[in-house]
Amino acid sequence: MAHSGGINGFSCNIARIPEEKIYVILLDNTRAGKRGGQLEAVIDDVFGVLYNTKVNLPKPLIIFEVYKKMKAESVEKGIVYLKELKKNKFDSYNFNGFENELNRLTYKFLGEGKPDDALKIIDYAVSEFPNSSNIYDTRGEIYFNKKDYNASKKDYLKTLELNPNNDNAKEMLSKINQILSPKN
Q: Give the whole-angstrom CA distance, residue 112 versus residue 109.
A: 5
Q: Give the whole-angstrom CA distance, residue 44 versus residue 108.
A: 32
**Is the pLDDT reported for residue 34 higher than 70?**
no
Instruction: Return the pLDDT at 105.
Output: 94
pLDDT band at 177 (very low <50, low <70, confident <90, very high): very high
User: Architecture of 62-180 per CATH?
Assistant: Alpha Horseshoe (1.25)
Backbone angles phi, psi at 53, to 5 degrees: -105, 170
Residue 164 vs residue 93, higher pLDDT: 164
Instruction: Return the pLDDT at 44.
Output: 80
Residue 178 vs residue 5, higher pLDDT: 178
- Domain residue limits, the chain: 2-50, 62-180
Instruction: Return the pLDDT at 33.
Output: 43
**Is the pLDDT reported for residue 66 higher than 50?**
yes
**Is the pLDDT reported for residue 54 higher than 90?**
no
DSSP of 31-94: STT--THHHHHHHHHHHHHHTT---PPPPPBHHHHHHHHHHHT-HHHHHHHHHHHHHH-GGGSB
**pTM (global) more than 0.85:** no
| CA 169 vs CA 47, 63, 152, 166: distances in Å | 45, 27, 10, 6
What are the tens digits of pLDDT across the range 124-172? 999 999 999 999 999 999 999 999 999 999 999 999 999 999 999 999 9
Range of lowest pLDDT (1-10, 12-21, 28-37): 28-37
